[in-house]
Amino acid sequence: MSVISQNFGIERVLRELSAAWAIARKDMRTYYLKPNIIVSGILFPLFMFLAFAIGKNAPPGTLIPGLIAITLLFSASSIEPVSIPIERRVKTFDRLLSAPISLHSLVFGESLSGFLYSLGIACLPLVIGVILFSTSIVYALTLVVAMALTAFCFATLGTLFAAYPTENVGEVMSMLNTVRLPLIFISGVFIPISAMPQIGQEIAFFSPLTYGNDMIEYAYTGTSLFSPLLDILALLIFILIFQFVANRLYKKFNT
């Protein structure tokens, strides 16, 4: 019986992962090139970064880690707040909810699409830094881990906000931006956390971008505010929290 139960459990996990991948592929085909996603996921973070970076007396190459962090934040969390309200409007989201899959697969699949999109977009500043500015990477593996965890963390955040039961993309984006924009200023991207007032330093501990940006900085410079292991642990905790809350919200608003 134990062998049968184990095989059944493995088959179920594989079926759920297959369903999550199908959801991610659907978003990849349908939404990656939509104008509002390109604006919110690529152009908006780029122009925001340039607006703050122009006044800094620093070599352009040293600004690449911050640009990667901002790009991950915006691009990862931009897919689901667009795709899910649209699918509610055309009633295709109801098919996903009635499909024989768990909410965990739905949330994971939606997050996966934002995760993959974000990694692809974040490679642009990474390559630009290496080719144009000869920006050296001290710990390449650390950078890969940092980008992956940060991307999935904010992709899950986007999925969480998209749980709000509306067919209006603007409503979800407005709520999401009330969180995304403050995160930039309290997470050490533009202002080092050590240079912030005491209350700002304390608030920074509650921002996932703090740990993602810190780990990316470590990968480029070899110095960081926290231990890379602490950054990894913090990002994993945020991912689990966001996934859990997203599952509860989808269950609350759709049952």
Least confident of 38-42, 79-83, 199-203, 220-224: 38-42
- H-helix or E-strand spanning residue 218: helix 208-221
Q: What is the pLDDT of residue 2?
A: 54
Least confident of 52-61, 141-150, 188-197, 232-241: 52-61
Query: Please, which pLDDT band fits residue 134 given cuts at 50, 70 and 90?
Result: confident
Q: What is residue 78's DSSP assignment?
A: T
Residue % of the chain over a pLDDT of 90: 38
Residue % of the chain over a pLDDT of 70: 91
Q: What is the pLDDT of residue 237?
A: 97
Q: What is the pLDDT of residue 57?
A: 67
Tokens of 64: 């690449």
Q: Has residue 30 got a pLDDT over 90?
A: no
Q: What is the pLDDT of residue 6?
A: 55
Tell me the whole-structure pTM to 2 decimals.
0.89
Stretch 204-228: mean pLDDT, rounded? 93
Euclidean distance between CA atoms 37 and 41, whole angstroms: 5
Least confident of 1-10, 72-81, 146-155: 1-10
> Burial level of 158, CB count in 10 A (0-12/13-18/19+)?
buried
- What is the domain partition of the chain in residue ranges? 2-253
